[in-house]
Amino acid sequence: MSNEKPKILLAEDDQFICRAYKDGLSQAGFEVIVASNGGEAVEKIKSEKPDLLLLDLIMPLKSGFEVMEEIKQNKISDLPIMVLSNLSQESDIKKSEELGAVDYIVKSNATMRDVIEKIKDILNK
């Protein structure tokens, strides 16, 4: 692995959550790019070439599900996708996995440290 910081694209429309994750991930040594809606997330995947997508499911313009569908259908990228959502239904988790998510974290059940550890595990695979 090079000396460059791993680049994380954080797709999250809630500004408070977004700021908290951006700060936490930056402090953990990641470069963090932010997209505040699904359409912006797809554009930034193409332009920024992140190492991992941290994706909320409920967002304006395009949902996280729609973002994953677009990435998969158009073969935009093979970057790992980690869903970070408040949706905890088994059906949402299953759908995310079917669309290519490598991990699924329910925001209310995970600490910043949990998220950072999972990101490191994914990037080290």
User: So what's the pLDDT on residue 117?
Assistant: 97
Residues 99, 111: Cα–Cα separation, whole Å:
25
* Residues 80-111 pLDDT 10s: 999 999 999 999 999 999 999 999 999 999 99
Task: Give yes or no for residue 2 having a pLDDT over 80.
Answer: no
pTM (two decimals):
0.94
DSSP 71: H
Which residues does 115 contact at the CB level (< 8 Å), separation at least 6? 21, 24, 25, 54, 84, 105
Locus of tokens 């299953």 = 94
Q: What is the pLDDT of residue 4?
A: 85
Using 50, 70 and 90 to split pLDDT, how confident is the model at 3?
Answer: low
Q: Please give the full DSSP string across 37-61, using - where no structure is assigned.
A: SHHHHHHHHHHH--SEEEE-SS-SS
Our separate counts of H helices and E strands in the chain read 5, 5
Helix axes 64-73, 90-98, angle to 10 degrees: 20
d(CA 71, CA 9): 14
- For the cut 70, the answer to whether the pLDDT of residue 66 exceeds it is yes
> Residue 1 pLDDT > 50, yes or no?
no
Residues 57 and 60: their CA atoms lie apart, in Å, by 10
Map out the domains of the chain as residue ranges: 7-123
Q: Which of 2-11, 26-35, 45-54, 112-121 has the lowest mean pLDDT?
A: 2-11
**CATH code matching the domain that covers 7-123, chosen among 3.10.20.30, 3.40.50.2300, 3.40.50.1100, 3.30.230.10:** 3.40.50.2300
